[in-house]
Chain A
Amino acid sequence: SSELTQDPAVSVALGQTVRLTCQGDSLRNFYATWYQQRPGQAPTVVIYGRNTRPSGVPDRFSASRSGNTASLTISGAQADDEADYFCHSRDNNGNLLLFGGGTRLTVL
């Protein structure tokens, strides 16, 4: 199917590690890009490709993939990481703009 599924909400204690997941059949063949969106702002990229961070993104963000699941891991979450996170990929039918529903991350 052409869907990407994310948990709607996740919380993490300050300084702890959290893993956000994105599930979909197409992820067996394609990587996910991860976008962070803070309230009232446009999204920005935190990870793309296999596990590449754009300049300026802290190295506590990392990505991995196993089977039909892509994961974004934040090692040592900071208050500034509280945001919505969206995964994006493509499907096997040529839809290049497939997004997950997003995960709202709360840092406690």
Chain B
Amino acid sequence: EVQLVMSAAEVKKPGQSLNISCQASGYIFTNHWIGWVRQMPGKGLEGVGIIFPGDSQTRFSPSFQGHVTLSVDKSANTAYLHWSSLRASDTGMYYCVRVGSFESGVPYMDVWGKGTTVIVTS
């Protein structure tokens, strides 16, 4: 069974750094893009970015480019989302997603983690 197990909730202050993680199992980690989707409280879904573990290629949504970084540890089948300086507006639920395939150029996110809540408050 394909699973994405995410790290626990975090409460941080503005300006602090943060890594959240997503450990994948049940498939060959380096064969599928893996990424992150944000949902702010009571709001819709926003794509953050995706990374290909095989060669660490990344694709970001424009609104997140330059504010977060994506990385993987292939030996641990784990993907990371990193902030060097958090803002209050980073508060939200972050879902880890696996890209099952690209359907005519559109990534199909077939498996979702349960989400990691990030709260940034002074």
Contacts and interface: CB of A to CB of B under 8 A. Distances in A.
Partners in one complex: yes
Given A42-B112, A95-B61, A30 B105 contact: yes
Category for how many chain A residues contact B: 20 to 34
A63 to B, nearest CB: 11
Interface in B64-122: 95, 100, 103-110, 112-115
Helix, strand, loop or mixed for chain A's interface? loop
Contacts of B112: 42-44
Helix, strand, loop or mixed for chain B's interface? strand
Nearest to B96: A42
A19 B110 CA distance: 23
Interface string A42-54: 1111001110101
B53 interface: no
Given A49-B108, A99-B44, 17 more contacts: A30-B105, A35-B45, A35-B109, A43-B95, A45-B110, A48-B100, A49-B106, A50-B103, A84-B44, A88-B106, A88-B109, A90-B107, A94-B59, A95-B47, A97-B59, A97-B107, A102-B44
